[in-house]
């Protein structure tokens, strides 16, 4: 969830919805209108219907459909298929919640709730409680209170804690009662921790974890200005990877994610030699990125396949992943202006995918598995 606060798209929408807004209630109304006009659930898109259907990140795990949680840059990029910013029931409320937070909502007043086959969000903003249900953002009235109380919940997630299937007395589920709606002195997070008997799950230092970030700069300060060694800020470290930042301790994680992705596996099964791999990338992938701040971030191989574009380093990630899946032992090298793959004592540059004598330019990063 923290990574959503870093996204340029989140920041742009947060700025847009507060234009000409005199108060927090008007901002919430603007968020609701914007969401209705600009967002769509993946399964509402004809191309992605099914379980998991043709969703780029849909797969089956032990017979059950599973999906990767996409970040706003991916949601925006998927508009090439749908015409709207596209995500599922976890990504949509995470994205909309980030817009509330970037307009002043406190971090601990945002909660995502896991139902049996759905996710919703609750946000307290300007003294009012709002429910986020896919692309719908509405104040919680008596009708919605009744609906919320009728549901059974398997987990809840905030910017600082995740609790799933482990509640008071070993319970795997919990319900929300009237007492929840009558408690306004505590944050939403405190209320849920008390209600479910899970306060021991919270690992947090109030001195370093702020009540609010206020804006994108505040989010960057929180997430990137703390050492990896600060265990209490583990969520901040994870957010760097979810954001797909190059400034992480183990960038090889992006290679591992690429290799495991369904679309990468599918493409690897269609290709043979390393020449086939380089040829496919050359013929099917254009130069570009789904990331506005692409110099600081890196796409995974499946993203390059789905969106048919990638920077030189992104294309090299795809080449590395496919080569690894075909039994090769490649090395990836990123320089200031190019990217290279070393394999079988040969070196290939990502600009042309031709063989070159040596790597030129100052080396920024080397990766292998």
DSSP string, 212-271: ---SHHHHHHHHHSS-TT-GGGHHHHHHHHHTTBS-SS-THHHHHHHHH-HHHHHHHHH-
Q: What's the pLDDT at 212?
A: 79
User: How many other CB atoms are found less than 10 A from the CB of residue 38?
Assistant: 14
Q: Express each pLDDT in 166-218 by its tens digit.
A: 887 778 899 999 989 987 778 999 999 988 888 776 655 444 566 778 889 98
Q: What's the pLDDT at 66?
A: 55
pTM assigned to the model: 0.90
The set of long-range contacts for 212-217, using a CB threshold of 8 Å and a minimum separation of 24, is: 212/101, 212/104, 212/105, 212/106, 212/107, 213/5, 213/101, 213/102, 213/107, 214/102, 214/104, 215/11, 215/14, 215/102, 216/5, 216/6, 216/8, 216/10, 216/11, 216/14, 216/102
Q: What is the mean pLDDT of residues 44-64?
A: 62
**How much is the mean pLDDT over the chain?**
89
Q: What's the pLDDT at 61?
A: 57
And the tokens for 15? 């700025």
Q: What's the pLDDT at 162?
A: 84
User: Is residue 11 pLDDT above 50, yes or no?
Assistant: yes
For 112-126, 223-237, 245-259, 351-365, which range has the lowest pLDDT when averaged over its residues? 223-237
Q: Which residue has the higher pLDDT, 70 or 268?
A: 268
And the tokens for 229? 């060694």
Full set of structural domains in the chain with CATH? 2-242 (no CATH), 252-367 (3.10.620.30)
Whole-number Å distance between alpha carbons of 341 and 347: 6
């Amino acid at each position: 969830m923290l990574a959503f606060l870093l996204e340029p798209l989140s920041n742009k929408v947060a700025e847009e919805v507060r234009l000409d807004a005199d108060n927090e209630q008007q901002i919430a109304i603007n968020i609701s209108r914007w969401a209705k006009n600009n967002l769509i659930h993946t399964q509402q898109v004809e191309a992605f219907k099914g379980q998991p259907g043709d969703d780029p990140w849909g797969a089956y795990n032990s017979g059950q459909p599973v999906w990767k949680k996409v970040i706003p840059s991916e949601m925006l990029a998927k508009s090439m298929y749908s015409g709207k910013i596209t995500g599922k029931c976890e990504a949509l409320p995470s994205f909309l919640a980030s817009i509330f937070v970037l307009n002043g909502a406190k971090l601990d007043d945002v909660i995502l709730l896991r139902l049996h086959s759905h996710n919703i969000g609750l946000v307290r903003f300007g003294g009012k409680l709002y429910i986020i249900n896919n692309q719908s953002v509405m104040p919680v009235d008596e009708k919605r209170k009744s609906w919320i109380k009728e549901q059974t919940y398997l987990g809840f997630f905030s910017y600082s804690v995740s609790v799933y299937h482990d509640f008071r007395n070993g319970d795997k589920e919990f319900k929300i009662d009237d007492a929840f709606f009558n408690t306004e002195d505590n944050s939403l997070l405190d209320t849920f921790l008390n209600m479910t008997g899970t306060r021991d799950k919270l690992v947090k230092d109030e001195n370093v974890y702020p009540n609010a970030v206020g804006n994108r700069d505040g989010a960057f300060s929180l997430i990137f200005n703390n050492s990896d060694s600060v265990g209490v800020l583990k969520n901040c470290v994870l957010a760097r990877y979810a954001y797909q930042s190059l400034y992480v301790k183990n960038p090889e994680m992006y290679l591992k994610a690429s290799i495991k992705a369904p679309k990468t596996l599918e493409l690897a099964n269609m290709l043979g030699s390393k020449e086939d791999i380089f040829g496919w990338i050359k013929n099917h992938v254009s130069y570009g990125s789904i990331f506005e701040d692409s110099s600081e971030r890196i796409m995974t191989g499946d993203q390059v396949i789905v969106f048919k574009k990638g920077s030189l380093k992104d294309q090299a990630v795809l080449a590395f992943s496919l080569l690894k899946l075909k039994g090769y032992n490649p090395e990836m090298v990123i320089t200031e202006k190019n990217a290279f793959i070393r394999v079988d004592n040969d070196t290939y540059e990502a600009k042309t995918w031709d063989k070159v004598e040596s790597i030129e330019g100052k080396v920024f990063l080397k990766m292998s598995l």
